[in-house]
Structure formats: C-alpha cells, structure tokens
Structure 1
Amino acid sequence: MSGESVKSAERVIEVLKVFAKFQTPLSQKALVDETGYPQSSLVALLKTMTSNGLLHYNSASRLYYPTTVVKHLGSWIDDQSHEAAWITSLMKALNEFSGETVALAVQNDTILMYIRAIESDHLVRYHVREGEQRPLLDSSMGWLLMSRMDPVQIERIYRRSPLAHRQMAGDLDVFQKSMAEIRGQDYCYLANVPPNAGTVSMMLPATFNDSPIVIGVGGFIERIAPRVDELINEIRNQVNLHARSANLPSLRSRAGRT
C-alpha cells in the first residue's frame, strides 16, 4: 500500500472519530477545524466517502452524517433509539407480509442512497445493500422523493443525471408530468425500473440527517405487479400503525388508489 493510500485511510478514520466525538451532523468547516486538514484535501475526501455510501450529505443544510454502513465503527449511532425501533418493526412487518425486499432510502444529491434493507428469501429477488447508491431517476423511491420537489429542483437533478437514466424517464416535459401525478398520491409504483423489478414506495414521517426517508417494497415484477393495490394499502396501514406507536403523525391518503 502506498504512502498516499495509508494517509487517505488514516484521514477516513480521523473523520469518523470526529463524528463519534460530536455525535451530530457536521459541516465541512467543522470537520476542517477539527481535523486540521487542508480544505481542498478534506473536500475531496468527503466527496469520496459520500460517493461510497459512508456519509450522507444534506445539500440544504450542508451537513454530513455517517450512514449505517459505518455504524459498527461508530457505536454511538444507536439502532435501538425510539425512532429506529419503530422503523425496524415496520420493515419486518412489511417483509413478512410481502415476502419481498424492504428498503429505506434518502436523497444524497442526485443519488438515492439505501440506509437500511431486509432482503427477500426468494431466489429471484431485488438485491439492496446498505450504503448502495443509484441515480434518483432509476427507482420508484427516487421518483417519489423527486415528486416532493419543485419543478426547478426536479429539472436540475434530471439534467445532472446520466443520459441513459434520462432516456428511461422520458424527456423533461414528460417526466415533469409524471412528477405532478405522483405528487398527488401518497405512493409511487414503478414497473421495470430497474429492469424486471417493481417497487411500491411511500414517504415516512421521519428523517435522516433532516432529509426525508422513503420506504419501498420491491421484487421480481411478475410477483409485484398483481399485488400493487394490496401492497399500497398494507404499506399505508403499517406505516400509520407503527408511526402512531412512536407518537408520530399518520400518513394521509392522497388522490389515487385506496
């Protein structure tokens, strides 16, 4: 291993130690002040850690926060908190009901980042790993998150996304119309995005680093497609049931399937 590689590894560890010390989202400036690293070097390091799913970056607050990928390195990220407990219970209930993969995700700039997942036991299933990332345009969960944005934000993300994903979503006018339709619902269902998969997604009354969290139930399209209405209703019911147990607001069904 080269000297530069060792230095980079040491800096990753040092950044995680700073988070463990403060146990809160931190700004780039705070990390520079704490580590003493040159700003240009730290910016590059933070971008690399974010792109690899180790950190989540909230572009609105400009704060970084470790993901569950590094929870074993930072024992202060408490999976047994009141909020984490009801979400874990919700995911298990949906996994048992559907038999499919259940995942949580947040927006990470133009990317969707999975922060937790329970995979299906089916041989043919939707594979999701904690910390895995994909373009927002490439998933039901990403479309739902984007539908809650204003048209200017949607256009910015659309134009910054890879060409192949823009083509799959349709031209910008078509995509904006899709966003308007989804905005009027409390769910999003996409078939064959990604190919051969179907996912039903809903927002949760919770946040991660002040970013909205979306939950999705996904699997092989031939199993999901006949159950879309059933899954929409069950996700909605289970989210409301578990949210109430945590004294959080219930979802309000918008226009669309009931």
Structure 2
Amino acid sequence: MAGADANGAQVKSAVRTVELLEFFAGRPGMHTLAAVQEAVGYPKSSLYMLLRTLVELGWVETDATGTRYGIGVRALLVGTSYIDGDEVVAAARTTLDRLSDDTTETVHLARLDGTSVVYLATRQSQHHLRPFTRVGRRLPAHSTALGKALLATWDDEQVRRLLPESLPAVTERTITDRERLIEELGTVREQGYAVDREENTLGLRCFAVAIPYRTPARDALSCSVPAARLTPGHEQLIKDALFDARDRLTLATRRL
C-alpha cells in the first residue's frame, strides 16, 4: 500500500506540473504566487515548492524580485522540437510558400486540439495592413474558419459531444449557439471551405480548407485578409488558391 501511495503521489505531482505549465502557456506574462494559487487551487506550500523546482529546471522563470512567475525557455525548446519533427509541417512548407505568393495574404497551417485550433506554421502577408499571428497560438475552433473546416469533417453527433450548447463569444459576430454552428458546418461540407466572418477578430475575414489525409481531418490551411481589402475578385482568388493548396498538400501527405 505504501508503494501504491508513493506512485499515486508521483502521478499527482506530474499532473500538477503539466497543469501549471498549461496555465502559464495560456496566460503570457508574469504572475504572483497568489494569482497562480487562485487559478489552479493547489495548497500554497506545495505550489511554491513545485514552482521552485520548475524554476531550477528552466521550465518556469521568475522576475528580478523572485516573486512573479512565467513560462520558461525550456517550454519553447520542447515546442520547437514538436514543430521541427512534425511530418505534416515539413510537407506543407512548399505549399504554404506558394499559397502565400498566390494570395499575397497571411496563410496558416493549424491543427485541431480538443475544442481549439493551434497554429503550426504561418506565412505573413506582403501588405502593410496585416493580421498578427504566431506559431503556437491557440484559438477557439468554433470562432475560426480553420476550426469550422475541421469540425465539418466530423458528424453532427461528434460535434455535439465535443462542444457545449452555448459557445463563448470572441466578437459580437461569433456563432454562440451550437446548433446554429452545426447548420453552418453542413454548408461547409457542401461548398468545401469554411469562412470566419469577423467572428474571431473584428475587421478580419478568413477562409479555410481541411486537409483530408486522415478522417476526420486534424489539419487545415487558411488565408486571412482584412475585410477592408477583400473584394469579390480577391475572395475568389483566395478560394481557388486554397483548393489548389489543399490538393497539393493532400498529395504530399498521402503516405502519412
């Protein structure tokens, strides 16, 4: 029994370590011990010891006073190794370059992770007015074209099991009703692409297609463009370029 208790304690410590790192990853900047404790709910004494251990190992950093904590450089190294070792990211590089040239807009490769999408690769727009994006950024699937393109490869019951009935609003245009979202996913399946109509960022529209190298799909390509610059002709060019990119990347990932 003692051995079982020790193993249980080790597993609990591992879970808390991961939860702490996810807390810092989702909240950039530095945080006081009290703020961290309020968010995660661990006893302050054990939380402090765990934070000190993570600081010593480089997973967590402190400010000059030693009283505020944030994500450490080792997390970046692990995240980079994930990107560097991912076969889809490697296969998509040429496709992303061409998609960027064809559209002159910001383009992304992203992966579905639970109820979110995570950016794996991006190419910045050639225009002065452009959205800010970064690899590793996590956004709600229901408010993004990327997420909707991927959710459309699931059946309706799978979507109902994944998402709550009421969805959080990111902007005033976000779809917040699950059934309404499911209706839109039906349209996405019919037309082959998804649209974010300023649902994640006001003033920004986005178009996305899923990459069907597996079913349901887990990766998608997108193109983001400021609404002020989007003309009917440019919109059609973006859609055509995305379909072409989807076909090329599907071919490149056929053995994965």
Per-residue CA deviation, residues 11-40 of structure 1 (Å, 9 max, x unaligned), is xxxxxxxxxxxxxxxxxxxxxx9xx97222
- 1:221 is aligned to 2:193: no
Per the TM alignment, residue 113 of structure 1 is displaced from its structure 2 partner at its CA by 1.1
Partner residue, 2:13: 41
Aligned equivalents of 2:253 and 2:210: distance in 1?
A: 16
Pair 37,104 (structure 1): closer, same or farther in 2 beyond 3 Å: farther
Residue identity matched to 1:89: T
CA-based RMSD of the aligned residues comes to 3.3
Answer yes or no: is the 8 Å Cα contact 2:112–2:118 preserved in 1.
yes
Q: Tell me the amino acid that sits aligned with residue 229 of structure 1.
A: Q
- The aligned counterpart of 2:243 is 236
Which residue number in structure 1 is paired with residue 133 of structure 2?
128
Supply the distance in 1 between the matched residues of 2:157 and 2:247 (Cα, whole angstroms).
31
2:208 is the counterpart of 1:201:
yes
- What SS does the aligned partner of 1:169 have? coil
Separation (CA, whole Å) in 2 of partners of 1:81 and 1:128: 20
Indicate the SS of the match to 1:164: coil
* Partner deviation per Cα, 1:94-151 (whole Å, 9 max, x = no partner): 1111111111111121111111111213232122111111111221111111222222
Cα distance, 1:41 vs. partner?
A: 2.4
Q: How far apart in 1 are the matches of 2:117 and 2:80?
A: 25
Structure whose alpha-carbon radius of gyration is higher: 2
Q: Larger deviation: 182-191 or 126-135?
A: 182-191
Unmatched 5+ residue regions in structure 1? 1-32, 54-68, 250-258
Query: How far is the alpha carbon of 1:247 from its aligned partner?
Result: 6.6
Aligned residue type for 1:150 = D
Per-residue deviation, 1:236: 1.2
Alignment-derived partner of residue 139 in structure 1:
144
Q: 1:113 to 1:225 in 2, by over 3 A?
A: farther
Amino acid at match of 1:102: V
Q: 2-side partners of 1:87 and 1:118: how far apart?
A: 11
Cα distance in 1 between the residues matched to 2:244 and 2:125: 21
Offset of residue 212 of structure 1: 1.1
Q: 1:145 to 1:78 in 2, by over 3 A?
A: closer
Aligned to 2:123: 118
* Change beyond 3 A, Cα 1:44–1:121: farther
Q: How many residues align?
A: 197
C-alpha separation between the residues in 1 aligned to 2:222 and 2:88? Answer: 18
Alignment of 1:39-188 (within 5 A): 39-50=11-22, 52=25, 72-73=77-78, 77=82, 79=84, 83-159=88-164, 163-165=168-170, 168-188=174-194
Q: Bigger CA drift: 44-53 or 128-137?
A: 44-53
Structure 1 position 165, deviation (Å): 4.5
Indicate the percent of aligned positions where both proteins have the same amino acid: 18
Q: If the length of structure 1 is used for normalisation, what is the TM-score? A: 0.63
